[in-house]
Structure 1
Amino acid sequence: MVKNADGSLTLELEDGRSETVDCLIWAIGREPSTNNINLAAAGVKTNEKGYIIVDKFQNTNVEGIYAVGDNTGAVELTPVAVAAGRRLSERLFNNKPDEHLDYSNIPTVVFSHPPIGTVGLSEPQAREQYGDEQVKVYKSSFTAMYTAVTTHRQPCRMKLVCVGPEEKIVGIHGIGFGMDEMLQGFAVALKMGATKKDFDNTVAIHPTASGRVCDHALISCAPIFEGGRTGLHD
């Protein structure tokens, strides 16, 4: 990284590309706070990073001791911890022995300006899991009514990642005004196994950015590889 005379930063990336930006966010992640609760005294095992090792039922290696939330190293989001805890309670106290949280297809949002929302597989992940021939990507861009009449329009870009001849949707990603609010409904559809045809058969709400995924406005796109980048949700 080089700081330029005008205050901008030039980054030299591993793939040979360079990017000049006005600021850099150093996302170093977090460490679990398990060192100060004396897990060793109870015999509870952690991994090399300090996360508590659990199975899909949130059991630790010690019978009768359970763990949920960020300290298990799963998806580190408050609603995920709440959902896992609820299912653990159902299993332990409500006679539901098979109850556990499915950690796949969990929606998440970056509350930035504009907000970014994502659920399911990214395009590279889908291609790795299913193969290039099985993956089809659709994209759309639209400016919703809320900002369309202002001088500061905020377009929203949507991306669907589909697989197989039935075009089952395995990933939904977007950036733009309102993405933080609209993603939840799309996450339900993805969790229920929706296909591109299901979206096409749903009447769109116009004029909204979310409606663009239901009014045949999505454009089928070939994979976009520009120095390793693949558009939304790399």
Structure 2
Amino acid sequence: MSYDFDLLVIGAGSGGVRCARIAASHGARVAIAESRHWGGTCVNLGCVPKKLMVQASEYGDMVDDSHGFGWTSTRGTHDWGKLMTAKDREITRLNGIYVSMLEKAGITLLTGHARFVDGHTVRIEPSPLAPDEAPRTITAERIVIATGSTPVKPDIPGAELAITSDEAFHLPQRPERVVIIGSGYIGLEFAGIFAGLGSKVDLVYRRDLPLRGFDEEMRSAMAEAIDARGITQHRHACSTAIAKEGADLVVTLDNGQHLHTDCVFMATGRRPKIDALGLENTAITTADNGRIKVDMNSETAQPGVYAIGDVTDRINLTPVAIAEGHNLADRLFGKGPARQWCYATTPKAVFFSPPLATVGLTEEEAARNGVVDIYFTRFTPMRHTLTGRTRKTVMKLVVDQKSQKVVGVHILGDDAPEMLQGVAIAVTAELTKVDFDRTIGIHPTSAEELVTMRTRTRETPKAEG
């Protein structure tokens, strides 16, 4: 049977674009369908605009810190509208780059919403990106679903009064008071953004510490950093209702508290964006959490249909989606071996101020495998020795005692993500503590602490069970 294309990618986010470009480089006839934004969530409503806003939120502190070094500048006021305009201009530029890259690769761009007719047939219908496009039906031998995810709100009274990260990037003005529900990546990052720009921030979450799933010791250090940022934490609390009272929004918590605010920001998770794809017309199955089930080769239960990125129940990070897309295209159309990587050593970063970066196992995870040696340090980085600021950098090495492999590295502090990227190579390469010890540091830097922690802080026994 002949098809219009060898490969159709649904979703022009980071993973989908990489998959399409690599497949085209191998000679495949490729089309890519996008219904909303070229570049997907990361470029338009995620990583890129968020990082720009994080950086904007840090300049005020930099001005204050400069006083300790002899500067006499004053902080002044922040122009939210100017930031939004500059951010939008950069996003528009990146949108154009994505379109240009795809066109130069010889890929057919389909603007519209894709919906499965069967396992090889998709109907492209009008969408916000192309409301006047006429519907069309196309066929492809192989199809990749890379439609990403979208924010979710809890089902509570007044939830419609709250915003999510999607709306936060387009607020007409900065709210003076913000209540953020949730303490994962998104909740913490926006808490830091708003606090840094001058808003009063209340952070509400259900557990005793933020960032569930991260190393416990680093979670505690992050909680201290949140306090130091001037953010009020409401632990062991859930929002039960939101109501409008005059000019205020009022958030009711299950502990009886009522928080008056100008803005309620829900950072309570994301779900795969697959509801309108017509999956019922295929054999594709989903897990209990709604994410598409795939095998180790990213193939769904429908032969010839694959899924990558946030629609699957793997690690939902942009670089992972890119790696999955690259690997899949190599396997389907390449002549050599496909690029491989390890999910277990995927580095992560939380762009708070200060940021947290981590790679490999937490102390708790490593202890399930055997006895663990912990190397831990907390110090004042040189940039703060003259500022009067008490901000500390925290570093932790998790070492398997038997093999002496460094199986986890965790850093909380200025430039932590930049430091960790190189260390991720070491952890992926399964280097040992001896390898770290025989590496010469660069002085004076914070990063040199990673190779100068000679004395073990403690031994953690193997966890029972």
- Which TM class, normalised by the smaller chain length? 0.7 to 0.9
Report the equivalent of 1:232: none
Which structure 2 residues correspond to residues 140-179 of structure 1 after superposition, within 5 A?
140-179=377-416
Q: Deviations over 1:84-136 (max 9, x none)?
A: 101111111112466554311100000001100111111111112x13xx211
Task: Note if 1:187 corresponds to 2:424.
Answer: yes
Contact 1:139 1:218 in 2 (8 A): no
The alignment status of 1:103 with 2:313, answered yes or no, reads no
Give the 3-state SS of the residue equivalent to 1:170 in structure 2: strand
Partner of 1:63 in structure 2? 303
Give how far 1:179 is off: 0.5
Q: What's the RMSD between the two structures over aligned residues?
A: 2.9
3-state secondary structure, aligned to 2:307: coil
Could you tell me how far 1:207 is from its partner in structure 2? Answer: 1.8
CA distance in structure 2 between the aligned counterparts of 1:50 and 1:69, rounded to whole angstroms = 14
- Hey, what does 1:212 align to over in structure 2? 449
> Kindly, what percent of the aligned residue pairs are identical?
36
Distance in 2 (alpha carbons) for counterparts of 1:54 and 1:118: 27
Return closer, same or farther for 1:88/1:127 CA change in 2, 3 Å cut-off.
same
Deviation at 1:142, TM superposition (A): 2.7
> Are the equivalent residues in 2 in contact too, given 1:143–1:208 (CA < 8 A)?
no
Amino acid aligned to 1:208:
T
- C-alpha contact 1:140 1:213 (8 A) present in aligned 2: no
Code of the residue aligned with 2:305 in structure 1: it is I
Going from structure 1 to structure 2, the CA distance change for 1:60 and 1:215 (only over 3 Å counts) comes to same
CA 1:207–1:34 in 2, change beyond 3 Å: closer, same or farther? same
How far apart are the structure 1 equivalents of 2:351 and 2:206?
A: 28
Q: Quote how far apart the aligned CAs of 1:213 are.
A: 1.6
| 1:144/1:207 contact within 8 Å kept | no
Write out per-residue CA displacement over residues 32-62 of structure 1, whole angstroms, 9 at most, x where no aligned residue.
Answer: 1112111120221111221111111111112
In the alignment, the residues of structure 1 paired with residue 296 and residue 359 of structure 2 have an alpha-carbon distance, to the nearest angstrom, of: 21
Rounded to whole Å, the distance in 1 between the matches of 2:297 and 2:341 is 8
State which drifts further: 23-32 or 43-52. 23-32
Matches within 5 A, 1:1-234: 22-24=232-234, 27-96=267-336, 99-128=339-368, 130-131=369-370, 134-217=371-454, 219-223=456-460
Q: Which has the larger radius of gyration?
A: 2
Query: Cα offset for 1:145?
Result: 2.6
The verdict on how the C-alpha distance between 1:13 and 1:153 changes in structure 2, with shifts beyond 3 A counting, is closer
Q: How many residue pairs end up in the alignment?
A: 211
Letter in 2 for 1:106: T
Letter in 1 for 2:430: G
Gaps of 5+ in 2: 1-200, 209-222, 235-264
Report the CA distance shift for 1:194/1:53 in structure 2 as closer, same or farther (over 3 A). same
**1:162 & 1:63 partners in 2: Cα distance?**
42
Q: Structure 2 counterpart of 1:22, which letter?
A: T
1:62 to 1:207, Cα distance in 2 relative to 1, 3 A: same
Note if contact 1:84-1:100 (Cα within 8 Å) is conserved in structure 2.
no
Change (3 A) 1:36 1:56: same
In structure 2, the CA distance between the partners of 1:175 and 1:52, relative to structure 1 (3 Å rule), is: same
Cα distance in 1 for partners of 2:206, 2:427 equals 37
Contact 2:378 2:393 in 1 (8 A): yes
What amino acid sits opposite 2:448 in the alignment?
Answer: G
Partner-residue secondary structure (3-state), 1:184: helix
CA 218–209 in structure 1, closer or farther in 2 if over 3 Å, else same: farther
2:407 is paired with a residue of what secondary structure? strand
Q: Distance in 2 between matches of 1:138 and 1:30?
A: 35
* Residue type of the alignment partner of 2:391: Q
Secondary structure at the aligned position of 1:104 is classed as helix
Q: 1:141 touches 1:158 (CA, 8 Å); kept in 2?
A: yes
Return the letter of the residue paired with 1:63. P
* Secondary structure class of the residue paired with 2:280: helix
AA aligned to 1:102 is: C
Question: How many Å separate the matches in 1 of 2:356 and 2:415?
Answer: 9
How far apart in 1 are the matches of 2:435 and 2:268?
40
Deviation at 1:174, TM superposition (A): 1.3
SS at match of 1:109: strand
Contact kept in structure 1, 2:372 and 2:459, CA below 8 Å: no
Higher helix share: 2
> Shift in Å at residue 181 of structure 1?
1.1
Taking the aligned partners of 2:363 and 2:282, their CA distance within structure 1 comes to: 43
Report the 3-state secondary structure (helix = DSSP H, G, I; strand = E; otherwise coil) of the residue aligned with 2:305.
coil
SS at match of 2:357: strand
Structure-1 separation of matches of 2:445 and 2:323: 31
Contact 1:140 / 1:217 at 8 angstroms: preserved in 2?
no
